[in-house]
Amino acid sequence: MKVSIVIPAKDEALGLAILLPELVQLYPEAEIIVVNDGSSDTTKEVAEAAGANVISHPYAKGNGAAVKSGARAAKGDLIVFMDGDGQHSAADVGRLLAKVEEGYDLVVGARSGRSSQASVARWSANAIYNGFASWMVGRKIDDLTSGFRCVNRRKFLSFLYMLPNGFSYPTTSTMAFFRVGYSVGFVPIEVSRRLGKSHIKIAKDGVRFLLIIFKVGTLYSPLKVYFPAAVFTSGLGLVNYVLTVMSAGYRFTNGTTLLVLTGAIMFLIGLLSEQLTNLQFKDTSNAGDRRAG
């Protein structure tokens, strides 16, 4: 199968100068696409000099937007997404491709342990994401947020409208593939320290990282999140009622009523969200199957 390698890049001239020659040497038949996301350095010139197909955004739209531009332009049956900052090794592309040949629709390069590029805060956040997502899908997810991945292009395109323009596209695409029932695999990789300055700002992106947790729940099975919350809230109401009975006799207080009704409303919202999610992914799955055919 033909392979396209898509590299979203914003001011990544240093990393691309090392990565692109290695990719050309190791995978001469692969289509290499660099999406220049409004860079202010020589990213475009470095990519063109290496023989890559360059798509330039007139201004910075975000990592996810660059990924979508590259996916639309790719002509391969498989797309490998990787960073251009020197973290990902060109040699590992072959390992992802070999895993795909085993029958997987999406293969993620899973960063092992405390990678050299991750701060304690980011490593801890990723551990929480992986644990929560694993509970949601009932299968161990080694790395939910890795941007190094190989995917079936036609199936990936069916989810394109769902992907955000920011950095959380890996989370969205991974959970979407699980939700539809596509095969998702993981390959352990080592990452190097990035070249150049990171575009992720902890203070600015802290809320975004927190929202990823809610996105994981709503993408896969909203009821699996809402139901425990509803039971917990209604349970507090019942506990409040029992304590009231023990101290003041049989009285159904406003607090008890509020907690029980809130729990019931949360359950109904989760049930409705579950049905809407089923309809959304039903259409997406059918579209992906039509494209694959």
Instruction: Name the 3-class secondary structure at 129.
Output: helix
| pLDDT of the residue at 195 | 67
Are 197 and 90 part of one and the same domain? yes
Where residue 47 sits, what CATH number does that domain have?
3.90.550.10
Structure confidence by residue, pLDDT tens digits, 38-94: 999 999 999 999 999 999 999 999 999 999 999 999 999 999 999 988 889 999 999
Are 205 and 134 part of one and the same domain? yes
In whole angstroms, give the CA distance from residue 33 to residue 69: 10
User: Quick one: tokens of 45?
Assistant: 């010139």
| Low pLDDT (below 70) residues in the chain | 113-122, 194-210, 280-293
Distance of CA 141 to the CA centre of its chain: 12
Sheet (strand 78-81) strand order: 53-57, 31-37, 3-9, 78-81, 149-152, 106-111, 184-189
Q: Select from 74, 111, 114, 72 the least CA-distant residue to 92.
A: 111
| pLDDT of the residue at 283 | 60
Q: In the listed set 169, 189, 217, which residue is the last one of a domain according to the structure?
A: 217
| pLDDT of the residue at 126 | 79
| pLDDT of the residue at 89 | 93
Are 83 and 49 part of one and the same domain? yes
Give bridge partners of residue 33 from the DSSP assignment.
Answer: 6, 53
Are 283 and 163 part of one and the same domain? no
Are 56 and 104 part of one and the same domain? yes
For residue 193, what are the domain limits?
Answer: 3-217
Number of H-type helices and E-type strands within the chain: 10, 7
| pLDDT of the residue at 185 | 96
Residue 211 phi, psi dihedral angles, 5° rounding: -65, -20
Q: In the listed set 199, 217, 235, which residue is the last one of a domain according to the structure?
A: 217
| pLDDT of the residue at 218 | 73
| pLDDT of the residue at 133 | 87
Q: In the listed set 217, 248, 268, which residue is the last one of a domain according to the structure?
A: 217
